Amino acid sequence: MKRGPYTITSTQDVYANPWIRIHEDKIVRPNGKDGIYGIVEYSGGVTTVAINDKHEVYLVKEYHYAVDENGITLPGGGIDKNESPLDAAKRELREESGVVAKNWIELGTAQPLPMIVNNTEYLFLATGAEIQVNHEEEFILLTVSFDEAFEMVINGKIKHAASCIAILKAKEYVSKE
């Protein structure tokens, strides 16, 4: 079977759980040499820049197990089966921050690690946002000006790729207001 310029000679599942599947493809490269690719399959995700009427952004701080550090991100998470990206974004925003928003704009998609992870992250800008319910307790809610959130991307305080991309894309909309 062909995949781009590569020929797959075999595929083997290495690991699976309800959220990810890892498989290894044995391949023949375009130059004729044998090789392997390990691929992590992860269902789609969402990330939302939620802005209130004061031009403040809602961020969440939480412990990121894989990199063993506390990190600051935009609210977001996985898309449940039979759920649209927009519905997932609204749910994740409410769960992680307690925020709901009036207006939603699609900011496009991102593929944070396309060399090894098959995953599409859907990015949104939500305006008219306000805290309406309690958020899940493992998250610490931070409210900062949009300019401060943008600076946190530039100076590396926000490292989460989808959060960085979404804030950079949202800047185009925010600067026009």
Which tokens hold the place of 49?
Answer: 């820049």
CB atoms within 10 A of CB 161: 15
Model pLDDT, residue 158: 98
Helix (H, G, I), strand (E, B) or coil at 2: strand
If asked whether residues 16 and 73 sit together in one domain, one would say: no
Distance separating alpha carbons of residues 143 and 176, to the nearest angstrom = 21
56: containing domain:
45-174
- For the segment 154-164, the average pLDDT, to the nearest whole number, is 97
In this structure, the strands spanning 76-78 and 34-42 are unpaired
8 Å CB contact between 112 and 119: yes
Residues 72 and 84 in one domain: yes
Question: In the predicted model, is pLDDT for residue 91 greater than 90?
Answer: yes
Is the domain of 13 the same as that of 98?
Answer: no
Q: Do 23 and 94 share a domain, yes or no?
A: no
Residues 84 and 19 in one domain: no
Segment 47-61, tens digit of pLDDT: 999 999 999 999 999
Residues 35 and 54 in one domain: no
* Predicted TM-score (pTM) above 0.75: yes
| Residues 117 and 53 occupy one common structural domain | yes
Residue 124 has pLDDT above 80, yes or no: yes
Q: Is 30 found in the same domain as 106? A: no
Structure-token match 């403040």, residue found: 56
> What pLDDT was estimated at residue 103?
97
- Computed over every residue of the chain, the mean pLDDT equals 95
